[in-house]
Every structure is written in C-alpha cells, then in structure tokens.
Chains A and B, each alone.
Chain A
C-alpha cells in the first residue's frame, strides 16, 4: 500500500443522456477516513461512484486523488491510479474460480509481491482460502461480497469505493461487512467512500457523512451529527 490518499470531488456534473444525475456535487474524503454517502434510491449515489471510477463521463467539475486529476480518464487508468471500486452486488466473475478472481486484484501489483499478498488475503479471509479452487458462482451472497472486497484490497488501493456492500445480505452478515470496512480504516488507514441505503449501519462506522438528494448534496457533517439529526433522518434517511 502506498499510503492513503484524499479524494476530492468538486462541482461534479455528470449523468446519462440529457439530464445530469449529479448536479454540482462536492465531497472531500480525507485520508484514512470513512465517508458515507447516503440518500434514497435515485439520489445519484451509484452514479457518483461510477463517475469517480470513470464509467460515467464527467461533464464538468473536478475529481482529484491527492493532486492527480482523475476526471475524464478511462476506468482502467483510474484503477491503476489507486482507486478500487467495488460495484453494487455484481463484482464477482462467476465463471472464474475464487482464486482467479483474487488474482485479478493482484494484476496491479509487482509480480514479486503477488504470492505473499495472496497468502495474506487467505489468512485474513479464511473462507476464501477454503474455497480457493471453487467457482465463484458457488459462493453465497455474503461470501461474494467478501471476495470482491478482498480482491479490491489486493490491488493495494489508495481509495476504496464501496457501493451498497450490505445489499441483499442478512443483518448478521451486514454487521460483519461493516466491521471489515471499519478495520480497513483502523488497521490499514485506507480512505473509504461508502455508498449505502442502510444509513444506520453506515453512519455507525463512518467519520463523515453526506446526504444526496436528486443529485445535490443536502447535508454534510460528522457522522455522529448526521445520525443525531432527527429531522434529516426522517426526511432523507428513513430511520
């Protein structure tokens, strides 16, 4: 790991077709913190992550990893710059084995480090070690989520973008995944941008939170402050 970086999004306008989904969004994720991005369906949370990682074109505004501009770069270049994006629900390649999926994460590392990094991952995620030869299609939803996060970590990212890691998982597994994200910040000092519908779980581990509504930021504060704001919770966060 080359050290955590800050990710700064400034005045971002982006979207599909005619109408912009993101309308002047600015967010700063400080190094070694978790920033929760919250909001209802259609608020633009996933589009924000997809724009940062280059799958949706930036129309105007700036995206910077430390002082390197990422806006309008191709997705593979953004990945090589150190941004790992764990997409919503479907990041596992089911036709490949667990180990092959993990090896994809290793492609960005120097060859000499790969073996040790993979063994580390198996030590940390024992379940993946046990199933390394099996097709990823045979994993449960929770195991797949662990697999995609483990794979993202193997690429030694400087910023981790997580899109709805709790989606479709049982509450107990959600707690485990959130715990894992917290550990990544505490132990590895990773910068995390966490998109969640499950605002309560996300704010429990986040340092900062922003609330998106219809492509604009309607609130931004320390996570504890957002969690304590009853009006905001009722209006936008649903808990």
Chain B
C-alpha cells in the first residue's frame, strides 16, 4: 500500500512536468501546425540563465522570474525570426528548422556554459512527507507540491485567458480557422507570436521544475521533451486539457513500471503507451470529433 501511494504521488509529480512540456507543444501546434522540437532545448537554455543569476548571488526567485521572462521572449523571437519564414512552405521545412534550432541552442549552451553536469537548486525541500511511519515519498515533498501547484496555476491561467478574454478568443479563432480569424480582422501573425511566447514561458517553467532532478547540461531536456511530446500526443496534440491529462497518465504509468516491474523499463512503457494510443485512438484521447476545415 505504501509503495502504491508513493509511486502514484511520484507519478503525479513527474507527470506535471510532462504535462507542462506537452502543454507548450500544444500551444504551438494548435496555432501553426508546427511541432517545436526545440522546446526542450529552449527550456534547458532558460534554466542556464536562471542558474547564472542564482550562482551570481541572486535569489532563486529572481532566477525563476528571469528564466520565465527569457522563455517568453525567446519563444516570440524564434517564431518571428526563424519559424515565420517556413509558414506556407512544405511542413517538412518547419520540422527541419526546429530540429536545427535544437542543435543550435544545445551547441551554443555547450560553448557558453560548458557541457559538465551542473546541480540545480530547488526552492523547497525534496524530503517527502510522512504520516506517522507511513512514508509518502518524494512525490509528497514541498518541492513536488510546488511543481504541481505551479503547473496547475499556469494551466488555470491559460484556461481563463482562452475562455474569458478577447485575446483568448482571437487565439482560439486563429487556431481553429486562421482564415475566418483574418476575415474578422484578427492579426493572426501577432497571435501566432503570442502563442510561441506563452509556449516558451511554460517550457521555461517546466525546465525550472525538472532540472533539480536531472542536473543541467546541454542535453538535459532531451528525454523530458520526448515524454512531454508523448503526453501531448496522448491528449491529441490539439487539446491543452488533453496534454495535462496525458502528462499525468504517463507520469503515473511510468512510475508504476519503474516501481513494480523494473527501473530500466519506463522508456519502453512510454513508447508502448504511445503506440497503443496511436493504434486505437490516433487523434488522441481528447481530440475534438468535429472535422477541421482547412
């Protein structure tokens, strides 16, 4: 019983990270049909920025805020400068460009920050809570609660933005039908940039939350990105809610596999889940059933 609770809580705490990466991918995919392979690399880079500030004597929170702000700006700048020219070209162009960006960002990070593993601070303890002698594990630590709370808060804020603001309506209209949005006077280009900026911010948040566990090095986000991508696909790539649920399902499943079956199997299990979803529900668990007008 204790193991089950520990694995479940650990799974949720891992899952929110995958959910955050998945969410950032969905934000971009919905608006532009581009899968941003550089999302993990961007998050790695913003985490380095935070570490520089923290190492220079700034507080964790200063580093945290600057990392998120950098993610926001980085997303917007990369969209405008590098991704925008690929729109309207064959889809493969955008794929190549974002993969190229990933290689570039990881290379630049190696040049600037070096390639050795750097430890990364957490603002809160990673020691799990106990109820009497019942140990809930690291999934119930203040640090894990902070991660879950931060991702949840980001998701709720995004949902409120989408649902209740005119910018949110513009974003949704542009995502569902760019043509109709333009007919209604929406500056779709700006909305796309905003989508990338928000994705950059959410990605940076994920980087800050996961890096204490993975250490920081130029490739540190690669495997997290793959799992975040899996989370987004489980959710249907189009659905922000789907990405979050997908991330949680994936996190919990992988923790069960690690705990009950073997610690070298979770990647395999993640892949198996991805294949199952693609076989039986190829548009994901949360994709809308309405046909899309192209």
**A positions within 8 Å CB-CB of B:** 53-55, 74-76, 79-80, 84-85, 87, 90-96, 100, 103-105, 107-108, 135, 137, 151, 155
Contacts and interface: CB of A to CB of B under 8 A. Distances in A.
Contacts of A79: 182-185
Most interface-central of A74, A91, A104 (chain B CB within 10 A)? A104
B290 A107 contact: no
A91 B177 CA distance: 9
Contact of A96 (B176, B183, B185): B176
12 contacts: A55-B179, A79-B182, A79-B185, A84-B183, A85-B183, A92-B180, A93-B177, A94-B293, A95-B288, A103-B166, A137-B290, A151-B184
Contacts of B293: 90, 94
A76 B186 contact: yes
Contacts of A135: 290
A202 to B, nearest CB: 22
Interface in B161-191: 166, 169-170, 172-173, 176-177, 179-188
Contacts of A55: 179, 182
B185 A155 contact: yes
B290 A104 contact: no
A76 B187 contact: yes
A93 B173 contact: yes
Contacts of A75: 179, 182-183
B238 to A, nearest CB: 9
A93 B185 contact: no
A104 B187 CA distance: 12
Given A93-B176, A95-B176, A104-B173, A87 B166 contact: no
B288 A93 contact: no
Given A95-B288, A96-B173, A104-B169, A80 B185 contact: yes
Interface residues of B, number: 20
B288 A103 contact: no
Contacts of B184: 79, 104-105, 107-108, 151, 155
Contacts of B188: 76
Contacts of A92: 180
Interface string B139-153: 000000000000000
Given A76-B187, A79-B185, A80-B185, A104 B179 contact: no
Nearest to A84: B183
Contacts of B172: 95-96, 100
A74 B185 CA distance: 10
Nearest to B170: A107
Contacts of B170: 107
A107 B176 contact: no
A92 B179 CA distance: 11
Contacts of B179: 55, 75, 87
A96 B171 CA distance: 12
A107 B183 contact: no
A85 B180 CA distance: 9
B180 to A, nearest CB: 6
B172 to A, nearest CB: 7
A164 to B, nearest CB: 15
Contacts of A104: 169, 173, 180-181, 184, 186
Contact of B180 (A54, A74, A80, A93): A93
Given A53-B183, A84-B183, 20 more contacts: A74-B182, A75-B182, A76-B182, A79-B182, A79-B183, A80-B185, A87-B179, A87-B180, A87-B183, A90-B293, A92-B180, A93-B177, A94-B290, A96-B169, A103-B166, A104-B169, A104-B184, A107-B186, A151-B184, A155-B184
